[in-house]
Amino acid sequence: MAASDRGDLWGAARLGSLTGMSGRQTHVNRSATRRLRSAALWALAATTLVATACTGSDDGSAAPVDAGSTLAPLVPSATTVPVTAAPATALPTTTSTTTTSTTIPPETTTTFPFVNQGAVVIVANAADVPGAATKFTQALAEYGFILLEPTNGAGPEEIIDVTRIYARPEAQAVADSVARVMGGIPVERMPTPAPITGATDGLGEATILVMLGKDLAGRPLPGPPAA
């Protein structure tokens, strides 16, 4: 085959190949176009349906709602969660106890010297009780006092209800001891004249006079003094 003939055959073959490729490309393009158009139509139909549902009828009125249909709530309803209250816990009660300590000072005992010597005592019966002065004289003698024979009351103190003790100043210590064994009777200054038989002369050597009244007549002395 001549060279020119081979060249024509190659050219014809290449032209046919290009023509076939161009036909296939055109078929592919047409198929893609149809698919795009179909998708656009579906999108348009969906848009139209959504618009119709939102705006209702063409005249702008709201689309009627079927009374039997139930619209789903846009916002979920609130759910009430039961709250269980925690049991009340009783707080422990703290009792504060304040103890007040009171210190009682010890008793102070004043000790007086017991003096039974240095003075003479005489008892006068002013209770109108026979023998009362004699018994009282004996009771005082048991404590070591020096006593004279008893006598009787006279004048304004012939009979008295409450026993009295008279003493001269120099006999005060012994008179205080006599008063202690008689229960703490106060000691008074010796009057002049003395209210006994014979008045002041009836005292003799006595410097302490016990006028025994009805309160102590016939009763024992309280007892020996505390040491």
Mean pLDDT of 23-51: 60
Mean pLDDT of 148-152: 97
Same domain, 204 and 130: yes
pLDDT digits (tens, 9 = 90+) for 30-41: 665 567 676 666
Same domain, 48 and 128: no
Whether the model clears a pTM of 0.75, i.e. scores above it, the answer is: no
> Of 56, 74, 96, which closes a domain?
56
Residue 110 lies in a domain: no
Residue 73 lies in a domain: no
Same domain, 130 and 49: no
> Of 32, 56, 80, which closes a domain?
56
Give the CATH number for residue 158. Answer: 3.30.70.2390
Residue 102 lies in a domain: no
- In total, how many domains does the chain have? 2
Q: Which pLDDT does position 61 carry in this prediction?
A: 45
Q: Which pLDDT does position 3 carry in this prediction?
A: 47
Highest mean pLDDT among 5-9, 159-163, 215-219: 159-163
* pLDDT of 10 higher than 50: no
Mean pLDDT of 99-112: 63
Residue 97 lies in a domain: no
Mean pLDDT of 7-15: 46
* pLDDT of 165 higher than 70: yes
Higher-pLDDT residue of 101 and 176 is 176
Residue 92 lies in a domain: no
Residue 85 lies in a domain: no
DSSP output for the chain: --HHHHHHHHHHHHHHHHHHHHHHHHHHHHHHHHHHHHHHHHHHHHHHHHHHHHH-STTSPPPP--TT--PPPSSPPPPPPP-PPPPPPPPPPPPP-PPPP-PPPPPPPPPPP---SSSEEEEEE-S--TTHHHHHHHHHHTTT-EEPPPEEB-GGGSS-SS-EEEE-GGGHHHHHHHHHHTTSPPEEEPPSS-SBTTGGGGGTT-SEEEEE-TTTTT-----SPP-
Domain enclosing residue 166, as ranges: 120-212
Residue 115 lies in a domain: no
Report the range of poorest mean pLDDT among 108-112, 160-164, 183-187: 108-112
Residue 111 lies in a domain: no
> Of 56, 73, 103, which closes a domain?
56
